[in-house]
Amino acid sequence: RYPEEASIVRQAFFVAFVAFGLGALFGVIQALHRTDILRFIPSTDYYTVLTAHGVLLVIVFTIFFLVGLFQWAITRSFDRPVEDIRITKAWLALMSVGSVVTGVTILLGFVDEVGISADVLFTFYAPLQAHPLFYAGLAVFLVGTWIAGADWFRSWLAWNAEHPDDRIPLQAFVVLTTMLMWYIATIGVAVAVLFFLLPWSLGLIETVNPLLTRTLFWFFGHPVVYFWLMPAYLLWYTVLPKIAGGRLFSDPLARVVFVLFLLLSTPVGIHHQYLDPGIAESFKFIAMTNTMFLLLPSLLTAFTVVASVEHGARQRGGTGLFGWLRALPWRDPAFTGMMLAGLMFAAGGFSGMINAGMNINYLVHNTLWVPGHFHLTVGTAVALTMMAGTYWLWPQLTNRRLYSRPIGLLQVVVWFGGMALMSNAMHVSGLYGIPRRTAEPQYQGFDFSTAFGSVAELNVQLAIGGTLLFVSALLFLANLAFSWGNPTTSGLGQTLPPALSGPDDSPRVLDNMRLWAAIALVLVALAYALPLGAIVADSGLFGPGGDAYPVTVVLNSVAVTAERLTASVGATLADVGGVL
């Protein structure tokens, strides 16, 4: 019914899937390389591959999918077209241009003759420095996402004016709370890029304070993981119950979960910096405590989603304590994909608790355990849910049936199997101390001691898992590509059933976006004001001995003015200095 909006969603998904394909290719290259099984690139190019893998997958793929899904959710929740399609096209264009600029800058790292590189990994904090185009592209991309959020808030205000007494539809509620979180979180990365990293790589300032840019990055870097996760949650809460044959168990509980994510996502970033010197242990302890609170919305989600699926199974005639599991539509790739993704998320939650513990984190810090963890969360809970959700949504967006549901089913199962192997090997390797982010993890004259098995076995397991994942990614992309050849059909649009316990059962205060945004900001100020203040007090805005750039700029302009004055009035520089 909304062809222009559907086209925006399709375009966003298209960019997401191109990035996914490239990212998966780089993934298998590095999986085979670092295990020394097959080497397609010289080790000197490893960081170009790793940067491209990280940026393409966790910035381009996930966020383009998110904006497409959120645009769909806003359009269908409010049942109205976008307010001004030019704005919608503008943010999509900004995000695309930004991604291309950043992506090409990274890939130019393969061509030494050009002299442009951005091998700074997806975390891009100092002391690693990229070509200015890398940061400029990121900045443009970020502005695009901000306008996207504003576009959705505008739709909400327009809808609200016509429905002042209605509760915000749940899908729109997810979009709005998530975007509020995004606005708060991106303050950190915007400051880091615009005031420090970009001027530094342009040569406007000589030094930066690495601890400050790291802290600003992680201010953003933890909430961004919830930004990736929220599209998956949106699908689990609002689409999965329908595919299972039932209805969402509780809309009020869902709202509580999304408010909790808005409040708790940002004041935890310092838990990524347990090993950073220069941040007091007490601040790290506070970040750890806040992090543990984040388990609450995840556990509430596990309860609500499983209860909804069980309700669906019983509607289909399922019975017994566990017998209802048999009544579920396991042949549907959308259903099975989301369920397997949820299962992996539970495993990822456990390894995440290890990461979050201040003391036990020392055991796994910067080892392969860490990518083992986040390939379960963002790499599967999020990515597999996005693929499964696409099997459900794509036919509705294109009016064409999916090319093959059995291939879709095979694809999600292969992803699950591949990830079980790769992530298991990564976790175990991490426990033995094998480092992440290196092309050559085996140091000369040093053997990692293993409790059982051998490092060679773990490497083979990792490489087989990575290869299966790549095959699964190809199956997914091919299935979508072949779907274009199917004839168009109508009647693929699906409605979503209301929740068993609907929005009217939840207090109205939950819909008060201003209140939650204000509380979230206060919590962020409480968590970050003192640590940031201490970092700047200890080692300066621009690092110890660094030329503070406002001062440099001011002094430079004073010097230039002085020279001009000297030239025009024939005075000496000393005279002018005296006057100034």
Neighbouring-strand partners of residue 376: none
Residue at 580: amino acid letter: L
272 catalytic residue (yes or no): no
Of the candidate spans 51-59, 357-365, 474-482, 499-507, the one that interacts with ligand HEM by CB under 6 A turns out to be 51-59
Find the shortest distance in angstroms from Cβ 467 to ligand HEM. Answer: 7
Q: Is 365 exposed, middle or buried (0-12, 13-18, 19+ CB in 10 A)?
A: middle
Min CB(469)–ligand HEM separation in Å: 4
* Least distance from ligand HEM to the Cβ atom of residue 380, Å: 7
Cα(377)–Cα(388) distance, integer angstroms: 15
Angstrom CA distances, 432 to 35, 442, 463, 510, 574, stand at 15, 12, 18, 46, 65
CB 331 within 8 A of CB 324: no
> Minimum Å distance from CB 379 to ligand HEM?
4
Cβ proximity to ligand HEM, 81 vs 210, nearer residue: 210
* Least distance CB 53 / ligand HEM (angstroms): 6
Q: What is the dihedral of CA 200, 203, 206, 207, to 10 degrees?
A: 20
* Catalytic status, residue 436: yes
427 is catalytic: no
- Report CA torsion sign: 269, 122, 418, 475: positive
List beta partners, residue 250. 501
DSSP 3-state of 14: helix
Residue list 404-443, contact with ligand HEM (CB under 6 A): 436-438
3-state SS assignment for residue 501: strand
Whether 373 is catalytic is yes
Does 163 participate in catalysis according to the annotation? no
253 sits near ligand HEM (criterion: CB under 6 A): no
Question: Are the CB atoms for 391 and 408 separated by under 8 Å?
Answer: yes
3-state secondary structure 184-204: HHHHHHHHHHHHHHHHHHHCC
What's the N-to-C CA distance of the chain in angstroms? 68
Residue 53 binds to ligand HEM (criterion: CB under 6 A): yes
Q: Which residue is nearest to ligand HEM (CB)?
A: 27
CA 273 to chain centroid: 19
* Residue 395 binds ligand HEM, judged by CB under 6 A: no
CA 445-449-450 angle, to 5 degrees, is 145
> Is 54 among the residues that bind ligand HEM (CB under 6 A)?
yes
Which of these segments, 83-91, 304-312, 466-474, 479-487, binds ligand HEM (CB under 6 A)?
A: 466-474
Binding mask 20-49 for ligand HEM (x = CB under 6 A): ----x--xx-xx--x---------------
| 103 touches ligand HEM (CB under 6 A) | no
Whether 470 is a known active-site residue: answer: no
Q: Which of 267, 379, 389, 503 binds ligand HEM (CB under 6 A)?
A: 379
Residue type at 252 in one-letter notation: P
Stretch that binds ligand HEM, among 2-10, 58-66, 211-219, 300-308 (CB under 6 A): 58-66
Among 92, 170, 347, 378, binds ligand HEM (CB under 6 A): 378
The residues binding ligand HEM (CB under 6 A) are 24, 27-28, 30-31, 34, 50, 53-54, 57-58, 61-62, 121-122, 371, 375, 378-379, 383, 436-438, 466, 469-470, 473
Q: Which residues are catalytic?
A: 222, 226, 373-375, 436-437
